[in-house]
Amino acid sequence: MEAKHYDSIIIGAGPAGLTAGIYLSRAKAKVLILDSGVAGGQMILTHEVANYPGFESISGYELSNNMRKQAKNFGCDIMSGISIETIDFESDKKSLSLSGGKRFTSDTIILATGGRSRNLGVAGEDNFKGRGISYCATCDGDFFTGRKIAVVGGGNSAMEEAVSLTKYATKVTLIHQFDHFQAFQHAQDEVKANPKIEVKLSSKITSFNGDEKLESVTVENLLTHENYEIALDGVFIFIGYEANTDFLQGRCIALNDGQEIITDANMQTNIPGVFAAGDAIAKRYRQITLAVAEGTIAALNAMEYINKHKSTVSQPVY
Ligand SMILES: Cc1cc2nc3c(=O)[nH]c(=O)nc-3n(C[C@H](O)[C@H](O)[C@H](O)COP(=O)(O)OP(=O)(O)OC[C@H]3O[C@@H](n4cnc5c(N)ncnc54)[C@H](O)[C@@H]3O)c2cc1C
């Protein structure tokens, strides 16, 4: 099968990848966006986005749909549900193949594969995934209407989702291993003010228990080492993320110890013509605004790279 050529191939169709696609295709570059899941990335898991400028409140689904349509209308080809089989970053002409045999080449690649929720790694976790254990309040919160649940974590996601889950659950026990939370103060204040939330600091779940579905968790008080059981129907785990860079491990793209992609301020990786943006890169904050900004920077620099290598593509439109 002959390889189809693009000016840029973007891997990942979250806000970073879609923004990069919008900028590049608007500059008349030929762009292919590939996603192993569905376009939208983590935004699709987000019930409400209230901190994206221009929208006081918008569902993550609607925001991702808007971005996807905009990228498509500017001319990006978007393929969802793909699996990358081979990839060559190092040649001047980059190339990749998908399982099923489709092959593509490009002048530039933008890596925008985001991240995913981290597992707790506790006995019983795998058994009860989807049968009481969830990593997405928006997807599964409604299943726990009128029930007792726990939320694990102490960052912004854990605290915001604990509050949002009180819409469904009769009681939310918030379990965190440290003696303080890491979340923004306003998120902590909302938790404190919510009578449905009970906080258990310096505590950790040591096992998930049940038969067909989750029935209880065993919790250890890390100060007294006392173990006790909490009867509940569900546990939502929000303890951070891992960059989706498994497919890059052992390849030429430089990653840090956390397996996040290392970029410079131009979103350039260590390989010329390969850029990266969004939650997959090494950085402190992970937000849609940042993914969008980095997608923009990656696209503008990719465009400059393309123009240097090829004179037929127009200048970027700012
Ligand atoms: C529950 C929740 C609530 C959130 N709430 C907010 C909020 O209110 N405001 C805010 O600003 N941010 C919020 N965030 C964070 C925000 O969603 C992320 O920072 C943002 O989506 C990151 O964008 P991204 O494009 O880098 O990656 P992602 O959104 O993770 O998208 C990456 C895409 O790459 C695809 N992909 C992964 N690996 C591969 C591969 N090997 N090949 C091809 N495709 C691949 C994935 O399927 C995915 O579609 C929230 C996140 C979560 C989980």
Residues 10, 92, single domain; the answer is yes
Say whether 76 is catalytic. no
**Where do we find the tokens 């986005």?**
49
Q: Quick count: other Cβ atoms within 10 Å of Cβ 51? A: 11
Residues 262, 273, single domain; the answer is yes
Residues 248, 112, single domain; the answer is yes
Residues 128, 230, single domain; the answer is yes
Condensed to tens digits (0 to 9), the pLDDT of residues 49-108 reads 888 999 998 988 999 999 999 999 999 999 999 999 999 999 889 999 999 999 999 999
Condensed to tens digits (0 to 9), the pLDDT of residues 270-282 reads 999 999 999 999 9
Q: Give the range of the structural domain holding residue 168, as residue numbers without chain letter.
A: 119-237
Q: Is residue 209 part of a domain?
A: yes
d(CA 93, CA 106): 6
Where residue 23 sits, what CATH number does that domain have? Answer: 3.50.50.60
| Number of domains forming the structure of the chain | 2
Give the residue-averaged pLDDT of 130-154. Answer: 90
Q: Is residue 314 part of a domain?
A: no
State in Å: Cα 227 to ligand 1 middle. Answer: 36
Q: Which of 46, 82, 251, 290 to mutate to test the pocket of ligand 1 (most atoms within 8 A of CB)?
A: 46
Task: Determine the residue type at 37.
Answer: G
Last residue of a domain, one of 216, 237, 258: 237
Residues 127, 232, single domain; the answer is yes
Long-range contacts (CB closer than 8 Å, 24 or more residues apart) made by 36-40? 36/81, 36/82, 36/83, 36/84, 37/80, 37/81, 38/13, 38/80, 38/81, 39/13, 39/64, 39/67, 39/68, 39/78, 39/80, 40/13, 40/14, 40/64, 40/65, 40/67, 40/68
Residues 130, 194, single domain; the answer is yes
Q: Which atom of ligand 1 approaches the CA of 84 most closely?
A: 42
Q: Is residue 317 part of a domain?
A: no
Residues 19, 56, single domain; the answer is yes
> Considering only CA atoms, which residue is closest to atom 48 of ligand 1?
41
Residues 183, 263, single domain; the answer is no
Residues 215, 131, single domain; the answer is yes
Task: Determine the residue type at 1.
Answer: M
Q: In a 3-state reduction of DSSP, which class is residue 59?
A: coil
pTM score, whole prediction: 0.79
State in Å: Cα 310 to ligand 1 middle. Answer: 32
Last residue of a domain, one of 192, 222, 237: 237
State in Å: Cα 179 to ligand 1 middle. Answer: 29
d(CA 173, CA 233): 12
Condensed to tens digits (0 to 9), the pLDDT of residues 181-228 reads 999 999 999 999 999 999 999 999 999 999 999 999 999 999 999 999
Q: Is residue 315 part of a domain?
A: no
Last residue of a domain, one of 200, 219, 237: 237
